Homo-oligomer: A and B are copies of this chain.
Amino acid sequence: MLDLAIVGGGPAGLTAGLYATRGGLKNVVMFEIGMPGGQITQSSEIENYPGVSEVVSGMDLMQKWPEQCSRFGLKTEMDEVVAVTSNSDGTFRIKTTSNKEHDAISVIVCTGSVPKRGGFKGEDEFFGKGVSTCATCDGFFYKNKAVAAIGGGDAALEEALYLANICSKVYLIHRRDKFRASPETVERVKHNEKIELVLNVDVEEVCGDKSGVTGVKVKSRSDSSVRDISALGVFVFVGRNVKNDVLRSANGYICEVNDGGEVIVDLKMRTSKKGLFAAGDIRIDAPKQVVCAAGDGATAALSAIEYVDEFKALKK
């Protein structure tokens, strides 16, 4: 029986492992099939993790974490979790793709969420070289420059407004005439002087050269006219896959999630299911920043320590 199973090995999972083992929990296993470090390892430039003042790649930022977070006894299983289910005695069962099963008194889920890609020509080629899915992370690199934001939902509009505070111009590109966002947000976008709406178009291509992105080619869905938009950054906000599959069974989710599939937590990272905690980008209201995910991981681990103590005391 594990004291704690940590599902996912990004900043939240690693920090949870650090705090749980340093706090005295025994038998703590982090499940991560890939290299620990998470999505951020795909980023080319980070300058907003406090304490790391130089501009570093995500790979470099995370490089020291696995050793630091494992030195107090955290074990890592290079295996992918397929399901977290409840046992009748209040513990959890972790099933993995290699058909192993582990029981655990507590679980911290930190599998994250992944921005969807638009599927445009040039999008993958220039990802990290002008194409981004995170305004908070990368907007500043386009200070006083023109950028394009693609999408029509709340997230896209909010990110466009964020970019408008930094960039000289934001082309907001959307397939339809109308936005699927809250009316207040739509109004703010429409009245923002820096935002130009480019509506009812398909993105044909993200264009660029050796130096990175140079613009976006869009085609009108009404008259098929083509327009070349100059932009050094292209921000794609066409949705997000919350990686909550491990919490879902035939009967629904093991804990409460919102309409977007994000796990509902309180300030202690407790889900609606006792003994189950969530941390990082999988939870509601996640700012999707390394330092926030790490803070969540520490918080969830401290809650798990308390829960495991209580659980063991009750079973005595």
Binding site for B on A (CB under 8 A): 11, 14-15, 18-19, 22-25, 47-53, 61-62, 64-65, 67-69, 72, 136, 139-140, 158, 161-162, 164-166, 184, 187-188, 191-192, 265-268, 283-285, 287, 289, 291-296, 298-299, 302, 305-306, 309-310, 313, 316
Q: Which residue of B lies closest to A11 (CB)?
A: B50
Of the residues B162, B294, B306, contact of A305 by C-beta under 8 Å: B162
Q: A50-B69, A162-B306, A295-B296 are in contact. List 15 more A-B contacts (CB 8 A).
A: A18-B50, A22-B140, A23-B165, A47-B68, A51-B51, A51-B64, A52-B64, A53-B65, A72-B140, A136-B302, A191-B313, A267-B267, A287-B302, A292-B299, A294-B295
Could you list 21 A-B pairs, sorted by A, with CB under 8 Å?
A: A15-B50, A22-B48, A22-B140, A23-B140, A24-B139, A24-B162, A50-B294, A51-B51, A51-B62, A52-B64, A53-B65, A161-B306, A161-B309, A184-B310, A188-B310, A266-B267, A287-B302, A291-B291, A292-B295, A292-B299, A295-B295
Minimum CB–CB distance from A164 to chain B (whole Å) comes to 8
- How far does the alpha carbon of A51 sit from the alpha carbon of B69 in the complex, in Å? 9
Q: Are B268 and A285 touching (Cβ within 8 A)?
A: yes
CA distance A299 to B14 in the complex (A): 20
Residue of B nearest to A61 (CB): B51
Q: How many copies does the complex hold?
A: 2
Q: In the assembled complex, how far is the CB of residue A258 from the closest CB belonging to chain B, in whole angstroms?
A: 12
Residue of B nearest to A184 (CB): B310
Residues of chain B within 8 A of A64, CB atoms compared: 51-53
Could you tell me the distance between the alpha carbons of A244 and B24 in the complex, rounded to whole angstroms? 33
Q: Is there an interface contact between B51 and A65, defined as CB atoms closer than 8 Å?
A: yes
Is there an interface contact between A48 and B18, defined as CB atoms closer than 8 Å?
A: yes
Residues of B within 8 A of A140 (CB): 22-24, 72
**Chain B: CB-nearest residue to A52:** B51
6 nearest CB pairs, A to B: A295-B295, A24-B165, A53-B68, A24-B166, A267-B285, A292-B295
Which one of A53, A266, A268 has the highest number of Cβ atoms from chain B below 10 Å of its Cβ?
Answer: A53
